[in-house]
Chain A
Amino acid sequence: MVSVPLRDRTAVVGIGQTEFGKGLADSELTLACRAISAAIDDAGLSPAEVDGLASFNWEEGREVEVARNVGLGDITFFSQVGYGGGAGCAVVGQAAMAVATGQCDVAVAWRARKRAAKASRPWAQARRVVAGHWQWSRPWGMVRPVDEVAMLARRHMHEFGSTRDHLANVALAFRKHANRNPAATMHDRTLTRDEYMEARWISEPLCLFDNCLETDGALAVVVTSAERARDLRQTPAYVHAFAQSIPRQHQVMTNYHNDDPLLGPSWTCAELLWNQASVRPDDVDVAQLYDAFSPLIPLSLEGYGFCARGDGGAFTEDGGLEWPDGRLPTNTSGGGMSEAYVHGFNLVLEGVRQIRGTSTSQVDDAAVSLVTSGEGVPTSAVLFTKEAT
């Protein structure tokens, strides 16, 4: 049997979050402090016990600010991960690696973000002369992430016959889950197939409801060793497997220049993830798949091995993603499209809640819970399990 050093050695033992909203008064640093503080309390630990930090490199509140505000202990591990939405599971996994290798005992990973204001959207702040690889796309009017993903979605429709109905299946499933989650931005707003089909275009073939929300908010998790987790107050969500990936010849978002652009970062991330795991895709009870845009769901379903290549659209048919009876209940808190878009970090917390048994769309006896981060960018994924093997 192959030894997997990280498997089940650590667990998420605390989760915390702020409210989600638009135009929240708090700064990103204040939001981060609130969420981290709540996660430490949830774990039943004291701030002085925290000695590790993992965060997004876009984070406004840096480690030193967080540590001296929240009153953390001496920090002996800190790392940052880039590429925005690809980093959510990566910071959890890096925290887990740091604990497992003895670099720290209690690590916090978090994301705080204020993006509900239109002026704060990255694409709206473009400089006139574009630098880097973006200069080979933006001058022709491909200025937003939605345009970049729509290009792949159209190609997927052409090659594999996926349809707008499939994308509507994604949007409607996640909205139904949000309607059950009082914390979700769209808790009180239902969505019908007619409303989806009649919605205004954003970047054809994608409409308004193929896009995630724009949210202010913050979320955090506390990771510690499996041994210590058993003595704490919450049901541990064991970090069973973790993977990151930058596929060869990958280009961020405008990934059109390699041999097969529809084989995105999910594919290589999945290869390591399943090699690290003792479970298979068929064993996954519930999934939180990164959903900045609806076409990322079929691409991720294919990449992580839930269906054959090209069948990601068909997988969404007949309520395939819906709680409780779908083939794979997915984004059970509403996801980025209907709960909140905080660079996918809300997906991490929902993955943990499913193991704890506290989701508002709880899968019965959920024992294996997958969370993924951004498809289309350097990415990451984590498998949480209820039992340590």
Chain B
Amino acid sequence: MEAEFLLPDVDDPDGAEFWRGTARGELLVQACASCGRWRFPPRPMCPSCRSLDVTWERTSGRGTIWSYVVPHPPLLPAYAHLAPYNVIVVALDEDPTIRMVSNLVTGPDGAINEIEPATIEIGTPVEVVFTQLDGVTLPHWIQS
């Protein structure tokens, strides 16, 4: 396999709006247009009221680290090349049950392996930054 990163499907009908948001520098969360419940990952129906009507709400882009791991090989080549790197789960400030998988970086252009893993702590406040990767704008997080 070529040393390529895995990419999200930015044309996925449920998730496309999220990626349009990141391209503008906004972290959006899907919300039910009927009852207002937030949900992530994006999907068609609200599990609270079964509405299919969705809206997207811009978040503050702030959260805390809920957990983290540090992958080592064997990995797909693109990721093995960067290992060890961190993967974090961030709980959003507005709704801590909305949790996103991402990476802790030093800035928008920071690599996912720049932070010393031993310095990462659960509960650390973080804020979103946006990183270009092969035509997709991925949210990453920096310590706030």
Interface of A toward B, CB cutoff 8 Å: 118, 123-124, 126, 128-131, 133, 135-144, 147, 150-152, 154-155, 158, 200-206, 249, 251, 254, 256-259, 261
The contact sample of 22 A-B pairs, CB cut-off 8 A, is A126-B76, A128-B6, A130-B8, A131-B9, A133-B41, A135-B9, A135-B41, A136-B101, A137-B101, A139-B133, A140-B101, A140-B138, A141-B75, A141-B112, A143-B75, A147-B69, A147-B87, A154-B122, A256-B89, A256-B99, A257-B99, A259-B97
Q: Using Cβ atoms and an 8 Å threshold, which residues of chain A touch B102?
A: 140
Chain A contacts of B84 at CB under 8 A? 201, 204
Most buried by A among B47, B66, B72, B84: B72
Chain B hits for A155, CB < 8 A: 66-67, 122
Q: Is the CB of A257 within 8 A of B40?
A: yes
Given contacts A123-B76, A251-B41, 4 further A-B contacts (CB under 8 A): A126-B6, A203-B70, A256-B101, A261-B99
Determine if B79 and A141 form an interchain contact, defined as CB atoms under 8 angstroms apart: yes
Nearest residue, chain B, Cβ from A135:
B8
B residues lining the A interface (CB < 8 Å)? 1, 4-9, 12, 15, 40-41, 47, 66-72, 74-76, 79, 82, 84-85, 87, 89, 97-103, 112, 117, 122, 133, 136, 138
Per DSSP, chain A at the interface is mixed
Q: Which residue of B lies closest to A148 (CB)?
A: B69
User: B67 is contacted by which of A129, A139, A151, A206 (Cβ under 8 Å)?
Assistant: A151
Write the chain B residue with the least CB distance to A150: B69
- Bound: A200/B73 CA distance, A: 10
Instruction: Name which residue of chain B comes closest to A127, CB basis.
Output: B6
Known: A135-B9, A139-B5, A257-B41. A201 touches B72 (CB 8 A): yes
- Looking at B1, B47, B112, B117, which has the most chain A CB atoms within 10 Å of its CB? B1
Give the top 10 A-B pairs by smallest Cβ distance, nearest first.
A204-B70, A135-B8, A155-B67, A137-B101, A150-B69, A136-B41, A201-B72, A138-B6, A142-B87, A154-B67
For B66, the chain A residues whose CB sits under 8 A away are 155, 256
A258 to B100 Cα, complex, angstroms: 12
Which residues of B sit under 8 angstroms from A158, Cβ to Cβ? 67, 122
Q: Which residue of the partner chain, among A129, A152, A257, contacts B8 with CB atoms under 8 Å?
A: A129
Chain B residues with Cβ below 8 Å from A139 are: 5-8, 133, 136, 138
Inter-chain contacts of A123 with B (CB < 8 A): 76
Give the residues in chain A near B72, CB-CB below 8 Å.
200-204
B69:A128 contact, CB within 8 angstroms = no
